[in-house]
Chains A and B, each alone.
Chain A
Amino acid sequence: MGPNAEYIKLIAADEKEFFVKKADAVEVSKTIRRILDGPSQCKEGEINQIELSNITSPTLKIVCDFLAYRAQVNKLEEGEDARDFPIRPEDAVDVLKAANFLDC
């Protein structure tokens, strides 16, 4: 059962599943864009599912929140205020590693 083309499934290290809109993920994360839309046909592109066994579920939840937040900020009008995205210091290390891997 693969999700339809609008949502993709991201699987964390502990097999928790996170569904996000494909448009948001592809727009914000260059790594996800390369995997799904790249010139070669990756298996992930066919089943719309990416396993991220190096990212734990609490970190992946923060990443998914950020994908939604960043996509919303991109749609804001000029001059409109974008509220900050809060990150706790204890999460910062894992979030940085994930952000580096996902290139966003």
Chain B
Amino acid sequence: MDVFLVIRRKKTTIFTDCKDSATVLELKKIVEGITKIPPADQRLYTTNSAIMEDSKTLQDYGFNATTSKAQNPTSIGLTFKLSSGEFEDLELCPYSTPPELPDVMKSQDANGQEQAS
């Protein structure tokens, strides 16, 4: 089954999907294709900041089609190895906050949900 993921590092977000039987190493190869950083210099972290091992599959970490839907993908952290040999700290720049709602919108119920199609 397809598992949808969001891989995040500082200012970068990568939306991707793969099979839940895929290994962590395959995921690092996808990241390599985008960032040109070899898997050996990458480190992936789960939502609990646990480091993911190359030999394990995504299923082993609890990612499956029910938890990782396209509308709500699971976040995975990413850091690179620095030239000193140390890995960066896991640091995710949060998205900016939306602006304050104008007063005319505040009193309405949540009935008017628009869907982009």
Contacts and interface: CB of A to CB of B under 8 A. Distances in A.
Do most interface residues of chain B lie in helix, strand or loop, or is the interface mixed? loop
A58 B96 contact: yes
Size range of the interface on A? 35 or more
A86 interface: yes
Nearest to A20: B15
B114 to A, nearest CB: 5
Size range of the interface on B? 20 to 34
A68 B73 contact: yes
Contact of A69 (B71, B101, B112): B71
A6 to B, nearest CB: 7
A64 B4 contact: no
Interface string B10-29: 01111111000000000000
Interface in A59-91: 59, 61, 63-69, 71-72, 83-87, 89-91
A59 B12 CA distance: 15
A36 interface: no
A83 B11 contact: no
Contacts of B97: 58
B13 A16 contact: yes
B85 interface: no
B49 interface: no
A90 B113 CA distance: 10
Interface of B: 2, 4, 11-17, 33-36, 69-73, 93, 95-98, 101, 105, 108, 110, 112-117
Interface of A: 1, 3-4, 6-7, 14-21, 56-59, 61, 63-69, 71-72, 83-87, 89-96, 98-99, 104
Given A21-B16, A57-B96, A92-B112, 16 more contacts: A3-B33, A7-B16, A7-B34, A16-B12, A18-B14, A64-B13, A64-B15, A66-B71, A68-B15, A72-B70, A83-B71, A85-B71, A89-B108, A95-B114, A98-B116, A104-B117
9 contacts: A3-B33, A7-B14, A17-B11, A17-B12, A58-B95, A68-B17, A69-B70, A72-B4, A72-B70
